[in-house]
Each structure stands twice: as structure tokens, then as C-alpha cells.
Amino acid sequence: MIALDLTGAEVLGPEGLHRDGLSFADGVIVDAPVGRAVDLRGYLVLPGIVDVHGDGFERHLAPRRGAMKQMAEGLRAVEAELAANGITTAVLAQFVSWEGGVRAPAFAAEVFGCLRDEAPGMITDLRGQMRFETGMLNLYDDLPGQIDDWGLRYVVFNDHLPHDRLADGRTPRRLTAMALRSGRSPEKQLAMMQEMHDRRGEVGPALDRLCAKLAARGVAMGSHDDRTRDDRATWAARCVNVAEFPETLEAAEATAQDGGTVVMGAPNVVRGGSHNKNVSAIDLVAMGYCDALASDYHYPSPRRAALMLWKAGLRDLVGAWGLVSSGPARALGLADRGELRPGLRADFVVLERESLRVAASFAGGRVSYMAGDVVARFLG
């Protein structure tokens, strides 16, 4: 294991930036010098980014239909991209859905199985999140056992059925494309969707039972795209305490008042607003209703969003960077990371002070990414 003393850099501690250095050994931050000194004047050292929800991995695991036969190689490419963006813990958000293609249950089984088998050999801490479509009542009985087998610790519930169109007898948008991805005819795809819509009254009781089982296992749970206070009250009663990407101020405010965790998309911050015209993540941050920012579909965005909030004066650096480090770590129940203090994992990112580009990433005290002039500093 590496034992180093980082000196000269501006280090972001729980109280702010300091120049007291950072030492680590055996993968853990320590409170006294332990090894060779590395002069990092001209650099920032910040806690490693904890990405609580990201689906940017899909482009590596399934770049084209049938093109990726070695999923483990795709996962290695995912890790490289994560590390190059300062992400030291990443939750890969994989659908289990009726929508087919890379969201199909069969593809999800491949992803979760590969992640279970390959992630322990990687430097970046890769974890899975199951995004479960609640209308799939036929899967409920087997789900807890599958979650145990795959080692999943985070489940998020979605409902993307176009209930309004199905209720009105209108053809759902993109029906033919969904059918092609699923290997069904459009008629069979529509019949399946209609059956799930017709059985929607059974979903609530089934979720009550499922969430109770998962809560007993200590699985973190989240809802997705909440709109109303009642939405959040219903989920909170099931111990579903994370609200991912609430669409309205009302839902975010209700989550905060109930002691839950609000996760918003970092691309929402970078763009300056939601591409779907939902509530702005920047507004929620300003009002104190955002606890964590996630990469969503773009891995460079957490770093960029946190730095934008800092430079714009909406948060100091501790508060802004905490949205991509300590905040997500708390949401996932990971008490061993998210800050740079003795006893925690040596997960950190080194940024060039002037450009704020990623120069190096360390996860558990091991190099996951390093490039540019900083290499000479570490090699001595």
C-alpha cells in the first residue's frame, strides 16, 4: 500500500481550505506524516466525488445493439472515465423495466452479475442501483432474493408507464421503437403495457410489502420524479427516504421537512435549469433543499456543478463540494468517506489550482487516474 504525505497543496477539510497537508497509509487518512513527501503546491486536494446516481455507463456496456460481447471490458472503460472525472465511488443506475433494450430485466441481470464479479478487482468503488419499474408485478416475489444475490444496497422506484395515454385509449409514444428493443410486436408491447396499467391498483400494496422486506435488509431506497407532497408522504411511509430528481419545489420541500434526502442532477446545475422544464437544481440549492448532486447522464458534471456553485457564491467550497462528496455519502449510508479527515478512506481528487482540471484521483489510497505535470510530483 502507498504511504504518502501531500504537502503545499490547498486541502479541503471539513472547516475549509488549509495548507496543513494530507497524509495517508494503508488506504486511510492519518493524522501524522507517514512516508515520502509530495510537493503539491499549485494544486487543490478535495474529497473524492461520490456519484449517487449515474447511467452514463450505458455507452460503454452497450454502444450498439449486440456490439459489446465482453461486458467486463466495458466496465473497465467506465471506471477509467469515472476516475478521470474525480469520481472515487460510483453508483451505476440500471433499469429493470418493461421498456426493453438496455433497460430489460435480462440486460440488467448481466450488468449486476458483471458488477458483482468484477467490481471487487477495481480501484474505483463501483456499486449498482436497481431502478425498478413498479408496474412489473410479476417480478416482486423474486426481487429480494435477486437483490441479495447481486449484492445491491440501493433500489429506486420508477413508474414510466404513460398512464394518461393508456387511460384514454391513445397509442403510447415511441411504441414501435420500444417493441423492437423488447423483441415484441407493437401489438404485444401495447397489450403488456395496458395490462400493467389496468392492474395499477395492485401496485401500492405490493410496494408496501416489498419495501418492508428491503428495509429489513438495510437496503437504501429512493423514489424518482416526485411531484407532490402526497407523493413524498406515501414513499416516506415505506422508508423510501431518498427523493431523486423531484420535479417540483413542493416535493423537494416535503422531502426536506420529513428528514429525507433530495438528490438532483448535476447537469441541471451546469445547464442552468432542467431540460424538462422542472424545478431548477440551482434554486433548490439556494433554498437549502438539495442534499446531493448526481452525474445522471454526464460524468464530468458533478465536478463542474460544484465548482460553478462555489464560484457563483451560492455555497462556500465546503458546502458546494459537499453536494458531490459528503452529501451523497450520507445518502448511501457510507460513513467512511466524503470528507478528508483522519480515519476515513483516502479517497481524494487533485485539481490543478488555476484550470480546476482533474490531475489525479485516488480511491482507497490507490491511484485510479493521473495525468500531466502532476505525475512528476508523485514520481519525484
Please write the tens of the pLDDT for every residue from 121-141: 999 999 999 999 999 999 999
In terms of CATH architecture, what is 1-47+338-380? Answer: Roll (2.30)
Delimit the CATH 3.20.20.140 region(s) of the chain: 49-336
Q: What is the pLDDT of residue 68?
A: 53
- Considering the chain, tell me which residue range(s) the CATH 2.30.40.10 domain(s) occupy: 1-47+338-380
What does the pLDDT read at residue 63?
Answer: 66
State the pTM of this model: 0.94
Q: Return the CATH class of domain 49-336.
A: alpha beta
User: Tell me, what's the pLDDT at 275?
Assistant: 62
Residue 65's pLDDT is: 57
SS (H, E, C) the chain: CCEEEEECCEEEECCEEECCCEEEECCEEECCCCCEEEECCCEEEEECEEEEEECCCHHHHCCCCCCCCCHHHHHHHHHHHHHHCCEEEEEEEEEECCCCHHHCHHHHHHHHHHHHHHHHHCCCEEEEEEEEECCCHHHCCCHHHHHHHHCCCEEEEECCCCHHHHHHCCCCCCHHHHHHHHCCCHHHHHHHHHHHHHCHHHHHHHHHHHHHHHHHCCCEEEEECCCCHHHHHHHHHCCCCEEECCCCHHHHHHHHHCCCEEEEEHHHHHHCCCCCCCCCHHHHHHHCCCCEEECECCCCHHHHHHHHHHHCCCCCHHHHHHCCCHHHHHHCCCCCCCCCCCCCECCEEEEECCCCCEEEEEECCEEEEECCCHHHHHHC
pLDDT at res. 100: 86
pLDDT < 70 positions in the chain = 63-69, 273-277
pLDDT at position 35 is 83
